[in-house]
Structure 1
Amino acid sequence: MRALAAFFILIFAVSFLGQPRLGAGWIWDLGQGIGFAAFAGLLFQMIPARRQGTGRAHARIGDAVVMFMFAHGFWLLLSDDVLRVYLQPGAPLHMWLGLAALLLLTALSVLAHLPERMRLHRHYAQFRLWHRWLGALATIAAALHIVLSGFYLPGWPSVLALVALSLLCCLGRGAWGWLGAPFQVPLSAYVVGGACFAAVFAMIRNFGT
């Protein structure tokens, strides 16, 4: 639980480093809060669990992260017709990166549940290696999606903090032992935590404005 809470707090702090009251209305900011909650879950998923028995929890939370990402995209698309233009050829790079992250994570989530995955990877260690590197690619794509979109990270300190945190999660496997890995986190903890994260994210940016 400490690890999950730490990532929610870190992403929350990074997103408010620049202009904490910068917002675009309740509906927009709530959709963006859902996206940041998905990213916090993705970073949490990149932290290795070294004991047996954590795979099922890891898979369940991975599924929830994908659902949060879909919710982020559909929430914004349904709330603003103009955004549908971003699904057409010629869309900004950050949109393609976001779509790439979503497709990669969806594929990882689906393949991880299929017993046929062992036909592609005869050794479990090989499966874990490919799974982790594809997860790292999805994490970098999602981080660039956030940075290049230009929303909520107006200055270099917040951009550098997000990029550094992403790289540390992808490459600094040994840096997270202080959080007490492995992480047996209930699915409900991430879902409820993510929903609360999104609500508070929007509330701070819109309360009193």
Structure 2
Amino acid sequence: MVALLLRLTLLVTLPFVLLLFMTPMPGIDPAWDFANGAGFLAGILLAALFIYSGRPLSEPYYDGKFFMNLHRDLGYAATLLLALHVGVLLISEPQVVDYLKPSATWPMLSGTLATLLLLVLVPTSLSAVRKKLWRNHRHFKLWHYGLGALMLVLVSVHMLSAGFYTAALWKWFFWVGLIGAAILRPLLPRAALVRGGGSRRRHTASYASWLCAGMVVIAITLALGYSLLANSDLPL
């Protein structure tokens, strides 16, 4: 469990630090930079969903419900960060509402479309809704994967085309490589799981929820730390 927490923390922190702290742009406003930091972290967590896709892993040696809840709750965490991204921007800069209109530029429109896709993916993934829409679970998985991949592409267009934080060319290559690897990950052959001694530990689903709650705290702390540092006199 601790190892998984460390892996998730590294998975979230490393891309965030590389994208926002390396060749950084000057701070604009604490609220603005916090909101955009939360948006970047939402995108990273959405990519992580393709790695932690609900399938059991060798470690931790927990039952399948843990990994299903981990995938679900990471999605909730990404949705919360996305809500912070949009909500804080709208409160601090009300004219941002123009970016949500159909007449907005493609970089902004792609962000809106990605958000709408996420708002479709989350409720349709719930067991009661999913079973009504798809009797065949394989069909659900194909639709879920396809819409999720499209969402990640739209998120990438939004993040890279906006360009302020990702103006450096190496950041484009880094993000495209990261997202490409995430999208391809579920399509690769699965390695054989290493079986631990005895049965998998049961009744661990709640651990995943607590783990994801911790990731939200870490993400908000990262976004807040970045916004304060970017708008201080300290060198970034």
Q: Same fold (TM over 0.5)?
A: yes
Q: How does 1:91-130 map to 2 (within 5 A)?
A: 91-130=104-143
**Larger of the two Rg values belongs to structure:** 2
1:166 aligns with 2:179: yes
Could you tell me how far apart the structure 1 residues matched to 2:189 and 2:214 are? 23
For 1:43, the equivalent position in structure 2 comes to 47
1:196 aligns with 2:201: no
Q: Secondary structure at the match of 1:136?
A: helix
Could you tell me how far apart the structure 1 residues matched to 2:29 and 2:189 are? 38
Query: Is the 8 Å Cα contact of residues 101 and 138 (structure 1) preserved in structure 2?
Result: yes
Q: How does 1:19-168 map to 2 (within 5 A)?
A: 19-47=23-51, 48-51=53-56, 52-53=64-65, 54-168=67-181
TM, length-normalised to structure 1: 0.87
Output the amino acid matched with 2:75. Answer: G
Q: Where has structure 1 moved over 4 Å in runs of 4 or more?
A: 174-177
Structure 2 unmatched ranges of 5 or more: 57-63, 195-206
- Structure 1 residue 64 displacement after superposition: 2.1
Query: Is the 8 Å Cα contact of residues 34 and 198 (structure 1) preserved in structure 2?
Result: yes
- Bigger relative contact order, structure 1 or 2, given CA contacts below 8 A and separation 6+? 1
Query: Is the 8 Å Cα contact of residues 17 and 157 (structure 1) preserved in structure 2?
Result: no
Output the amino acid matched with 2:49. Answer: Q
- Structure 1 residue 162 displacement after superposition: 0.8
Could you tell me how far apart the structure 2 residues matched to 1:21 and 1:145 are? 18
TM, length-normalised to structure 2: 0.78
Moved more, 156-165 or 11-20: 11-20
Could you tell me how far apart the structure 2 residues matched to 1:3 and 1:76 are? 30
For 2:203, the equivalent position in structure 1 comes to none
- Structure 1 residue 9 displacement after superposition: 2.2
Moved more, 131-140 or 41-50: 41-50
Moved more, 157-166 or 82-91: 82-91
Q: How many residues align?
A: 204
- Structure 1 residue 136 displacement after superposition: 1.0
Query: Is the 8 Å Cα contact of residues 31 and 76 (structure 1) preserved in structure 2?
Result: yes
